Amino acid sequence: MTTQTDGRTLRGDQTRRAVLGRALDIASSEGLEALSLGRLSKELQVSKSGVFAHFGSKEELQLAAIRAAREVFVDHVVRDALETRPGLERLWRLCANWITYSRDRVFSGGCFFYTVTAEFESRPGRVRDALVKAHRDWRGSLSRNAADARQLGELSEAADPDLLAFELRALLDAANGVSLLEDDRDTPYAMARASIVARLDVLVLPGVRRPWEDTGS
């Protein structure tokens, strides 16, 4: 009985992962509204009842996709940055990692959150709330490290952490959007990198090491 139960649990976990993996690819290209239990069961050749048992409704599927996308985002953008020194170095690593994450199409449609936000930015509800939290967490991470950099004497006292975080996000999102629209994985990201470097160069205090000048950064 235990073996049978373990086997069913394993198959259930595999089905859930497969459904979420496909859901993330669809949503990153077509949006969260393109998700449906029927479509996923057909594409993955699993029973609709099996998909329904894992998610229960379209909204639950959308929320699960957002949670899964956040985990992917943390793995590719945030986790590595947390191993670097707080402040300017970590702020730069977050930006550099984001460029790699978007440019290398970790999600087939570019940045998952860039694609799905436009659908729900004016639609109150649980899905929008989940997206708001994801965006605020990302913005907060940039802002906190900008504030740390200022406190550590790496950035000018005139640097506004919240404003800088807003500017950095705008540059990154613009690169993602132009890259997708023009099918160009080089120029938009190179321009975003150059723009971020130019913005930070103005704020970095004399004598402070600039991590973007390191080989391989």
Q: Who contacts 152 (Cβ-Cβ below 8 Å, separation ≥6)? A: 86, 87, 88
What is the rounded distance in angstroms from the CA atom of residue 172 to the CA atom of residue 111?
Answer: 10
What is the rounded distance in angstroms from the CA atom of residue 64 to the CA atom of residue 109?
Answer: 18
CATH number of domain containing 54: 1.10.357.10
| Tens of pLDDT, residues 133-186 | 999 999 999 999 999 999 999 999 999 999 999 999 999 999 999 999 999 999
| Tens of pLDDT, residues 73-95 | 999 999 999 999 999 999 999 99
Alpha helices in the chain (DSSP H): 2-30, 37-44, 48-55, 58-73, 88-103, 112-120, 126-151, 161-182, 187-203
Number of domains in the chain: 1
**Torsion angle of C-alpha atoms 13, 18, 23, 24, degrees rounded to 10:** 90
Helices 161-182/88-103 angle, 10° precision? 20
Range of the domain at 38: 2-213
